[in-house]
Amino acid sequence: MIIMSVDLGLVRTGVAVSDEGEGFAFPKGVITENNEEKLVQKICAAAKEYGAGRIVVGLPRNMDGSFGERAETSKRIAESITEKSLIETVLYDERCTTITAHTYLNMNDVRGKKRKKTVDAVAATVILEDYLRSIKK
């Protein structure tokens, strides 16, 4: 099954998908949208385009494990995605994924505008890779 992940942001939302065998994650790009309803529509359209059978939504938790305002927003968006797409949606801890994405981009000397355009897609890929490892255990 193809699994799609999203790293929700205030303006940019990263998207990644797995292969059918759920072994690899690939960045697919960024959705630029700050209107929640339109964002959900665009995520659902992407899931349909990629043939996703499950959508993993990054759940931002504080380092102590507690939930903040962004986590509540992520939960609400995940519920909307499920209602509108009829695709199973899973929330998955995304602590430190953006930091990891920045590290990967540093290692590959990605800077400037290209970095800004790709960091969210890379973060979505990190979320999906972590999720895929967790379901293989």
Categorise residue 65: left if φ over 0, alpha if ψ from -120 to 50, beta otherwise: left
Q: pLDDT digit string (tens) for 49-95?
A: 999 999 999 998 766 767 778 889 999 999 999 999 999 999 998 86
Confidence tier at 121 by pLDDT (50, 70, 90): confident
Distance of CA 95 to the CA centre of its chain: 12
Tell me the residue length of the chain.
137
b or e along 63-72 (b: 16 or more beta carbons within 10 Å of the residue's beta carbon)? eeeeeeebbe
Q: Where are the domains of the chain?
A: 2-136
pTM of the full predicted structure?
0.85
- Rounded average pLDDT over 20-28: 94
- Quick one: pLDDT band at residue 137, thresholds 50, 70, 90? confident
CA distances from 121 to 13, 14, 33, 39, 137 (A): 7, 4, 14, 15, 25
Quote the pLDDT of residue 95. Answer: 65
pLDDT in the model for residue 63: 65
CA distances from 20 to 17, 92, 116 (A): 9, 20, 29
With beta carbons less than 8 A apart as the criterion, state whether 90 and 134 touch. no
The mean predicted confidence, pLDDT, of the chain is 86
Greatest C-alpha distance within the chain: 40
CATH architecture observed for domain 2-136: 2-Layer Sandwich (3.30)
